[in-house]
Amino acid sequence: MLNYRQPPGAEATSAARLRPLAGIMKVLAEPNRLLLLEMLMQGVQCNCDLGQALGMAPNLVSHHLGVLREAGLVRAEHDPLDARWIYYSIDPSALSELRETLARFLDVDRIQPRRSTCGPRNTPGSTLGPDLPIGG
């Protein structure tokens, strides 16, 4: 699903490395999907239970569950007695991977000091000097 690992010497803004994280964040940015995930954190659910609890039409529930499944966050299992019934659950390994990926991406230890190379601080004759921190 996700693979946010910064290889040694790689730029921190590598678009190829950030694309999977951006995709999963886009999936999670939809409030109905967050509601569905919240419900699924309570255990296995079927479409009708989810729709009833959240006040959503069955086709809307199915659509959002499909997006969550495609993202790898949700599993679907057909009932062994009647395959028309589908039960949904969180994929724990995918959720763990997402949590670890976000923790690495949002780690405050990644913040590096940087000096601006443009603006009034770096013009010839400036009294501000380029070695002052931004905002200082």
List, in order of start, the domains of the chain with CATH numbers.
23-94 (1.10.10.10)
Q: How many Å separate Cα 45 from the centre of its chain?
A: 22
pLDDT (tens digit, 9 = 90+) per residue, 77-131? 999 999 999 999 999 999 999 999 999 999 999 888 877 778 776 666 666 555 5
pTM (predicted TM-score)? 0.74
pLDDT (tens digit, 9 = 90+) per residue, 88-100? 999 999 999 999 9
The rounded distance, in Å, linking the Cα atoms of 109 and 10 is 16
Helix extents (H) in 1-136: 15-28, 31-40, 47-54, 58-70, 92-105
